[in-house]
A and B are shown apart, each in its own frame.
Chain A
Amino acid sequence: MAAPGFERIAVSEQEPLVRAKNFDEVCLGYTEDEAVLEAERCLNCKNPRCVQGCPVNIDIPGFIMAVKSRDLRGAYDKLSESTALPAVCGRVCPQETQCEALCIRGVKGDAVAIGKLERYVADNAREQGMKPSVSAAPNGHKVAVIGSGPAGLTCAGDLAKLGYDVTIFEALHEAGGVLTYGIPEFRLPKEKVVAPEIENVKSLGVKIETNVVIGKSVTIDELMEDEGFEAVFIGSGAGLPMFMKIPGENAKGVFSANEYLTRNNLMKAFREDSDTPIFRPAKVAVVGGGNVAMDAARTALRLGAEVTIIYRRSEAEIPARAEEVHHAKEEGIIFEMLTNPVEIIENEEHFVKAVRCIRMELGEPDQSGRRRPVPVEGSEFEIETDAVIMALGTSPNPLIASTTPGLDTNKWKCIVADETDGKTTKDGVFAGGDAVTGAATVILAMGAGKAAAKGIDEYIKGK
């Protein structure tokens, strides 16, 4: 492939039947030559539409041009101007609906593989030991960030670059939020990718205190009054799992995806040396159609199960990334579309035996604009299974809001915050990410963290 063509340079992946048996990363990433060839496809548009599609406004043509000229330090610096987590974003951002969706190359042929290029630059930087450059001198102002997920890390990193003294408080024993407990190793390696990017944020001067549950160990008011924090950013995510409220849901073998993934990812239950157990039956059903459902299903597959995904709408409405659905299918996961569980059936020992489902058809569009699934009468049937994993979405944990007077939430328990600067109803308190929007994506949370960092900077300077 000498001249840049209409097709993107293919990226190598582990073979489906091989990877279905291990937790190593599925996508292997570009080599330098492949990256340079792909970079050559970028037209370096004067008005780059891709940048508009990026929630953190990365100078996409800028970094790609640097790749083209094999200036990988320059490319990394360009990325670091806008993101603290390029190796993460290069892997888990839905580029196909954001930057790449707007790429002019996509009009006739494939969009430039922006995500894969970002990943290549970040991976190379890590392998070469590059660190993001620190710019500002310390300004002496203290800011607290609650939650060390994508929103918190981004907000903290941006504030540190402006000279702020930032401490992140994390409830779990390890930093990273959903990057650590939620997204599995085969999609986002922890030691190789997540930990080094968190180290990079720390190298900017950010402190991370784990094992602190805000609202329990200490409240926001106390952080501000007793510990001298002038502003607080809440990026505590949407951690509360939802269940279906159907009969049998408390049988042994029914899990929230949060529990299942946390056991596997944070607690490393898939490894022999971990003390944490995980249920490893022959058959697993996963309910839901989002990325979390795909993650849970593909985890169960790797732990040796035959896996069925039960989703109530059709494939056209499935909210998971196309790449994830494609990978899941390649690996042999069975999809039961237009199907909804109505009951979980237990055996005599109260373990899951089957899930009783009903077929659905699509009716009129609902509020989300998607056609509403309606049950087909008399179509009930059973799927035999030993476990059911509920991946129905999550809502924000009410703990912080309930212990912070003056902090308003809406009817979905989401914190009310201004989209442009993260301002909440409480003076000096900002919020962003899933805690504000409800469960969304890593990159949207990062965008919100970024906006709030700017908002906090303006707030403190204006005091």
Chain B
Amino acid sequence: MYLIKKKRVLHDTIFLMDIVAPRVARYCEPGQFVIVRIDENGERIPLTVCDYDRDEGTVTIVVQTIGASTQRMMKLEEGQYLQDFVGPLGRPSELVTDDIEEVRKKKILFVAGGLGTAPVYPQVKWLHEHGIDADVIVGAKNKDLIILEEEMRKVAGNLYITTDDGSYVRKGLVTEVISDLVEKEGRKYDVCISIGPMIMMKFCVLTTKKYDIPTIVSMNPIMVDGTGMCGACRLTVGDEVKFACIDGPEFDGFKVNFDEAMERMKLYRTEEGRALLKLREGDTHHGGCGNCDGGDK
């Protein structure tokens, strides 16, 4: 059993938790993920690590309520427990494992969409702690869905926020911000890390390709075990079939077959489920759940 040490509600459908899991906290790195199971009947839910405290032995996760398991999870409070918490899984971000001197020479751009802000945060923080300031674009449907803004502001070089409906800072998609930075402000980037709903990553990659900026994406397909055992998370990357859980979750965005990946996300989607989702979340839902077509298009 894994203690919920802290819980913070970020939005009606999004919450953050610090979980006591010393084995995971000891070795996890930015880019990796964990699998959480709330109780005996719960699904195994993969969640990218948002932060960690090695001394306290805690790992921070950010969760959006998208199914029965996450709905029940949101009801848990500090002092209660999660049944299972396993990790760290997947490979750390290349920024963390590459030669730091090489990384220092690069101009880095992060593009976070909706919940994708959570996995982007530890990477930006890690770079900041190593004296590297990266530019960060955070996009969401509306103001309420911009999460971790203060935290991000502390560690980012420049932070650019945008909302689909213009309810906060500026109106527009993340791709428009990329274009503005490159074309209007003449910024040059050596690498882009884009994390968010698949549809956002797809269009982000189409944009960065235009400017010849190598782009890393973090894939969040359907998964069961997270250790390479089931193959549910398989993706086509270039000419190869890769498992997001062990070969990723980060891949070369130019090579990922997003259309296939998005199709595969829809496997368990039903009319009934979609209706329920609409009822519960109205227009606040932001995609990336595998149950909808949502996301910032």
The residues of B that contact A399 with a CB separation of less than 8 Å are 227-228, 246
The residues of B that contact A255 with a CB separation of less than 8 Å are 231-232
1/0 per residue, CB under 8 A from B, across A263-274: the answer is: 100011000011
A216 and B88 within 8 A (CB): yes
Q: A276: CB under 8 A from chain B?
A: yes
Q: What are 24 contact pairs spanning A and B, CB under 8 A? A: A172-B225, A173-B37, A173-B84, A173-B86, A211-B84, A213-B86, A239-B227, A249-B241, A250-B236, A250-B264, A258-B230, A258-B231, A259-B224, A259-B230, A259-B231, A259-B232, A262-B225, A263-B224, A267-B44, A268-B41, A276-B224, A350-B263, A399-B227, A399-B228
The residues of B that contact A216 with a CB separation of less than 8 Å are 27, 87-89, 227
The residues of A that contact B23 with a CB separation of less than 8 Å are 212, 217-218
- Nearest neighbor of B273 in chain A, beta-carbon distance: A277
Q: A275: CB under 8 A from chain B?
A: yes
Q: B266: CB under 8 A from chain A?
A: yes
Which residues of A from 416 to 445 have beta carbons under 8 Å from B? none
Interface of B, secondary structure class, is mixed
A243 and B88 within 8 A (CB): no
State how many angstroms separate the Cβ of A412 from the closest Cβ of chain B. 16
Contacts A172-B225, A241-B231, A277-B268 given; indicate if A252 touches B263 (C-beta within 8 A). Answer: yes
- A218-B26, A239-B229, A250-B260 known, 11 other contacts, Cβ within 8 Å: A218-B27, A239-B227, A241-B230, A250-B236, A250-B264, A253-B267, A262-B225, A262-B229, A267-B43, A275-B41, A397-B229
B43 and A276 within 8 A (CB): yes
Contacts A258-B231, A275-B68 given; indicate if A250 touches B84 (C-beta within 8 A). Answer: no
State how many angstroms separate the Cβ of A14 from the closest Cβ of chain B. 27
State how many angstroms separate the Cβ of B292 from the closest Cβ of chain A. 15
Contacts A173-B44, A217-B24, A252-B267 given; indicate if A239 touches B87 (C-beta within 8 A). Answer: no
Which residues of A from 224 to 249 have beta carbons under 8 Å from B? 239-241, 243, 245, 249
Q: B234: CB under 8 A from chain A?
A: yes
A211 and B86 within 8 A (CB): yes
* A interface list, Cβ under 8 A from B: 171-173, 181, 210-213, 216-218, 239-241, 243, 245, 249-250, 252-253, 255-256, 258-259, 262-263, 267-268, 273-277, 279, 350, 397, 399
The residues of B that contact A397 with a CB separation of less than 8 Å are 227-229
Taking residues whose C-beta sits less than 8 angstroms from the other chain, chain B's interface range is 35 or more
Which residues of B from 31 to 58 have beta carbons under 8 Å from A? 37, 41-44
The residues of A that contact B246 with a CB separation of less than 8 Å are 399
State how many angstroms separate the Cβ of A289 from the closest Cβ of chain B. 20
In the complex, A172→B86 CA distance in Å? 8
Contact of B268 among A172, A181, A259, A279 (CB under 8 A): A279
Q: B251: CB under 8 A from chain A?
A: no
Contact of A213 among B43, B87, B268 (CB under 8 A): B87
In the complex, A275→B67 CA distance in Å? 8
B89 and A213 within 8 A (CB): yes
Q: B97: CB under 8 A from chain A?
A: no
A250 and B234 within 8 A (CB): yes
B27 and A273 within 8 A (CB): no
In the complex, A217→B34 CA distance in Å? 10
The residues of B that contact A213 with a CB separation of less than 8 Å are 86-87, 89, 227
Q: B69: CB under 8 A from chain A?
A: yes
State how many angstroms separate the Cβ of A315 from the closest Cβ of chain B. 28
Q: B80: CB under 8 A from chain A?
A: no
Q: B158: CB under 8 A from chain A?
A: no
B41 and A273 within 8 A (CB): yes
In the complex, A357→B37 CA distance in Å? 40
Q: B83: CB under 8 A from chain A?
A: yes
The residues of B that contact A253 with a CB separation of less than 8 Å are 267
Q: B121: CB under 8 A from chain A?
A: no
In the complex, A211→B88 CA distance in Å? 10
The residues of A that contact B228 with a CB separation of less than 8 Å are 239-240, 397, 399
Q: B258: CB under 8 A from chain A?
A: no
State how many angstroms separate the Cβ of B226 from the closest Cβ of chain A. 8
